[in-house]
Amino acid sequence: MGPPAEYRLSAASLERGISHGYEFSDIRFLLAHGAEQPLPGPVAAQLARWQEELTLIRCEPGYRLRPAAPTALPALRGRAPFRAAAELNASGSAAFVGRMDAAALFRYLRRAGYVLQPVEPEHDSAVEPPALPPFLHRRLPLIPLATLVGLYGRLRASVSGLADLRLADLEQTLLAALPPPDRAAVGKLRFAQPEFVVYTPHLIAPNNA
């Protein structure tokens, strides 16, 4: 084996990771998992300070909806599915829907008789802001993973013969990476599951008499 790898963290490198789609919980988990030990106290404290100092703006891709008829938008505001998925701009002349909600909203609008016309955006390179960095990372499902690891431990206590996957360290790393509200959510999810009941079948020999 060669010498251990050494990585240097800084506020700038943390900002680059966040701009590429990483969450703070992802970063804490990946650092601890890669080091195969909990984050040292000073490192965890420094990450927490950087998180508090960071002014974060979440940029969500989506669509701006601009009805051609002035009366169309007030009519749409009266529809509950539209209000649930779209947000009006300050002037009330257009609405925004995120990409995750767009497909369902567009299907609803088409069924309601609306015709959706795509519009080619007008770009002015002189005033256009710089593009966002590429989205290189999707958020790790830390809450479901921590929940499943804990449930497997409960299942092993009820079912004999299940493999010992040595998940205690992974469980500790997952929980340490999560902020307190997410850790509380993991606890609720674990104990929201019903108790495991194992039934052992009893074979009855046929009566050949």
Total of domains in the chain: 3
- Please give the average per-residue pLDDT across 36-48, as a whole number: 89
The token pair at 134 is 């590429």
CA distances from 110 to 34, 71, 124, 158 (A): 49, 18, 32, 51
Sheet with 95-98: list strands edge to edge.
62-65, 95-98, 86-88
Residue 34 sits in the same domain as residue 68: no
Residue 31 inside a domain? The answer is yes
pTM: 0.59
pLDDT for the residue 205 = 57
Residue 1 inside a domain? The answer is no
Average predicted confidence (pLDDT) for the chain: 81
CA distances from 195 to 151, 169, 190, 192 (A): 10, 24, 10, 9
Residue 177 inside a domain? The answer is yes
Range in 28-32, 107-111, 119-123 with the lowest mean pLDDT: 119-123
Instruction: Give 80 or 194, the one with higher predicted confidence.
Output: 80
Residue 30 inside a domain? The answer is yes
Evaluate if residue 131 carries a pLDDT over 60.
no
Residue 6 inside a domain? The answer is no
Residue 147 inside a domain? The answer is yes
Residues composing the chain: 209
The token pair at 10 is 């800084």
Question: What is the sign, positive or negative, of the torsion defined by CA atoms of 79, 82, 83, 89?
Answer: negative
Domain assignment of residue 38, given as a range: 11-53
